[in-house]
């Protein structure tokens, strides 16, 4: 009997459980045995951390946020920092141990669900260690070039839009400027989509460095149109013109593979307060955007990714990632898939529409 293992790595995203559901059900139909590795590769390091997945076990998980397997963005098995007895940090390469377990347990394929970091690790396992890997892309940021969409994004945008809808009434009641920081790393997809749909006055995205004076002018201009409040959406990776790098939080998390963005919302709010004299509040939506039940769109996409991954396993299309190429699914070599980041096109129809309905991007256009 063929045995496969599935893992979920990186930040969680609504829809992960739908992938697990689809992989389990379609692999089971083929007579395969399915295992889930807890917290990324932990189950492959320690087989006690493997869960046997059956259709009964996954029956109710499709609408649940998060991942029943757990996830981590601090666990690169090729360079795992561990504290020794003397309290010193050592970096260990655990990849051979993982490969030994993978072979000993008789797996013929690993379905790795993750963002760019996890997919890069999966690609290294395929090329350097010979692991038969299939990647499934996930991220609420929607910033992977190789696929038209990632699941989790639609849910995150819906959550952010709902939050913006709610902020209008309180901003209006108090004549306030509300600055809302949203996630998205170095891409402005969440800010752009939620900002347009949530009626923002200003949207600041990493793709368009902004001038704070232009932002303040737009806020002041609102008054000429008898609008005494304003909603400003700021992507966490947005930068003012002249800023060398995005605003980050200090993080002492051991083994974290990327910087923790955050703080630009408060920076923008402070400057608006100073330059316009208006009552201004900032809030960060943060991990709210990663939680909750996946939207229908995300569920369907996640299910389709899971189904396609199992079809690719059957065809032994390893070292590839499943990608959405509307209306179908495509298999993209992982080497290619991990390369490009998808940025907001500054001349896209979406952006033009936003400008035409009066949204300011903090530039002089
Ligand atoms: O990549 C998903 C994401 O939510 C980013 O939008 C955000 O910058 C980051 O993860 C937050 O990471 P963490 O969950 O480690 O705080």
pLDDT digits over 118-131, tens only? 999 999 999 999 99
What proportion of the chain, given as a percentage, has pLDDT over 70?
100
Mean pLDDT of 91-101: 96
Cβ(262)–Cβ(284) under 8 Å? Answer: yes
Q: What is the pLDDT of residue 217?
A: 96
117 lines ligand 1 (CB under 6 A): no
pLDDT higher than threshold 90 for residue 252: no
What pLDDT score does 21 carry?
Answer: 98
Q: How far is CA 132 from the centre of its chain?
A: 25
Q: Is the CB of 193 under 6 A from ligand 1?
A: no
185 lines ligand 1 (CB under 6 A): yes
Beta bridge partners of 35: 5, 52
pLDDT at 223: 86
For ligand 1, say whether the CB of 42 is within 6 Å of any of its atoms.
no
> In which residue are the tokens 């923008």 written?
268
Beta sheet of 33-37, edge-to-edge order = 50-53, 33-37, 3-8, 107-114, 133-137, 320-325, 328-333
CA of 11 to the centre of ligand 1 (A): 6
Q: Look at residues 290, 322, 327, 330 and name the one whose alpha carbon lies nearest to residue 306.
A: 322
pLDDT band at 82 (very low <50, low <70, confident <90, very high): confident
Name residues whose C-beta falls within 8 Å of residue 339's C-beta, 6 or more positions apart in sequence.
145, 146
Asked whether the predicted pLDDT for residue 81 surpasses 90, the reply is no
Q: Is the pLDDT of residue 100 over 90?
A: yes
What pLDDT does residue 365 have?
Answer: 73
Question: Mind listing the pLDDT tens digit for each residue in 195-222?
Answer: 999 999 999 999 999 999 999 999 999 9
Give the span between the Cα atoms of 183 and 105, in whole angstroms. Answer: 39
CB 72 less than 6 A from any atom of ligand 1: no
pLDDT at position 338 over 90: no
From 65, 141, 235, the mutation candidate for ligand 1 (largest count of ligand atoms within 8 A of CB) is: 141
What is the per-residue pLDDT across 165-202, written as a single tens digit (0 to 9) for each? 999 999 999 999 999 999 999 999 999 999 999 999 99
Q: What is the average pLDDT value for the chain, to the nearest integer?
A: 96
11 lines ligand 1 (CB under 6 A): yes
Q: Which of 236, 243, 163 is nearest to 209 (CA)?
A: 243
- pLDDT band at 254; cut points 50, 70, 90: confident
Among 253, 237, 309, 251, residue whose Cα is nearest residue 8:
309
Count of alpha carbons within 13 angstroms of residue 343, beta-carbon side: 12
Q: What is the pLDDT of residues 294-333, one digit of tens each?
A: 999 999 999 999 999 999 999 999 999 999 999 999 999 9
- Catalytic residue, candidates 141, 154, 186, 319: 141
9, 10, 11: which to mutate for ligand 1, most atoms within 8 A of CB? Answer: 11
Is any ligand 1 atom within 6 A of the Cβ of residue 139?
yes
Q: How far is the CA of 140 from the centre of ligand 1 (A)?
A: 9
Compute the residue count for the chain.
365
Contact of 50 with 43, CB cutoff 8 Å: yes
The pLDDT score that the predictor gives to residue 22 is 98
Q: Name which of 300, 295, 266, 294 is nearest 281 in CA terms.
A: 266
Among candidate residues 262, 215, 210, the one with its CA nearest the CA of residue 240: 210
Q: What angle do CA 281, 66, 145 make, to 5 degrees?
A: 80
- Average pLDDT on 234-238 reads 98
Please give the structure tokens belonging to residue 271: 């400057």
Q: Edge-to-edge strands of the sheet including 177-182?
A: 202-204, 230-235, 177-182, 280-284
160 ligand 1 Cβ < 6 A: no
Can 141 be counted among the known catalytic residues? yes
Q: Please name the residues in contact with 345: beta carbons below 8 A apart, sequence gap of 6 or more.
A: 351
C-beta of 261 in contact with ligand 1 (< 6 A): yes
Mean pLDDT of 352-364: 96
Instruction: State the distance from the centre of ligand 1 to the C-alpha of 10, rounded, in angstroms.
Output: 9
pLDDT at 75 over 80: no
Ligand 1 site-directed mutation target among 143, 153, 183, 289, most atoms within 8 Å of CB: 183
Q: How confident is the model at residue 340 (pLDDT cuts 50, 70, 90)?
A: confident
Is the CB of 231 inside a 6 Å radius of any atom of ligand 1?
no
Higher pLDDT: 86 or 362? It is 362
CA 43 to ligand 1 centroid distance, Å: 23
Q: How far is the CA of 261 from the centre of ligand 1 (A)?
A: 8
Q: How far is the CA of 325 from the centre of ligand 1 (A)?
A: 25
The answer to whether the peptide bond before residue 324 is cis (omega within 30 degrees of 0) is: no
Which ligand 1 atom sits closest to the C-alpha of 115? 1
Tell me the pTM. 0.95
């Amino acid at each position: 009997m063929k045995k496969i293992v599935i893992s979920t790595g990186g930040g969680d995203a609504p829809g992960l459980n739908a992938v697990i559901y689809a992989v389990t059900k379609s692999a089971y139909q083929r007579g395969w045995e399915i295992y889930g590795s807890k917290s990324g590769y932990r189950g492959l390091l320690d087989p006690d951390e493997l869960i046997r997945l059956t259709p009964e076990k996954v029956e109710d998980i499709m609408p649940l946020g998060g991942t029943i397997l757990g996830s981590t963005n601090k666990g690169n098995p090729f360079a795992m920092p561990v504290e020794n007895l003397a309290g010193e940090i050592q970096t260990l390469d655990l990849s051979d141990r993982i490969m030994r377990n993978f072979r000993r347990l008789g797996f013929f394929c690993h379905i790795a669900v993750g963002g760019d970091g996890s997919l890069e690790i999966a690609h290294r396992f395929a090329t350097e260690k010979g692991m038969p890997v299939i990647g499934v892309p996930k991220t609420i940021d929607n910033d992977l070039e190789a696929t038209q969409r990632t699941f989790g994004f639609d849910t995150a945008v819906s959550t952010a839009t709902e939050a913006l809808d709610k902020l209008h009434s309180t901003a209006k009641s108090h004549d306030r400027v509300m600055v809302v920081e949203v996630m998205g790393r170095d891409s402005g997809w969440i800010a752009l989509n939620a900002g347009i749909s949530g009626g923002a006055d200003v949207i600041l995205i990493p793709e368009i460095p902004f001038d704070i004076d232009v932002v303040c002018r737009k806020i002041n201009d609102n008054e000429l149109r008898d609008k005494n409040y304003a909603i400003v959406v700021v992507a966490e990776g947005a930068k003012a013109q002249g800023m060398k790098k995005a605003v980050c939080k200090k993080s002492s998390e051991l083994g974290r593979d990327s910087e923790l963005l955050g703080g630009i919302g408060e920076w923008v709010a402070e400057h608006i307060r100073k330059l316009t004299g208006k009552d201004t509040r900032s809030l960060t939506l943060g991990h709210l955007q990663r939680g909750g039940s996946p939207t229908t769109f995300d569920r369907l996409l996640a299910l389709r990714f899971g189904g396609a991954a199992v079809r690719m396993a059957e065809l032994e299309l390893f070292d590839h990632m499943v990608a959405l190429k509307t209306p179908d699914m495509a298999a993209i070599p992982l080497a290619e898939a991990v390369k490009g980041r998808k940025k907001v096109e500054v001349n896209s129809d979406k952006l033009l529409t936003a400008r035409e309905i009066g949204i300011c991007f903090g530039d002089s256009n």
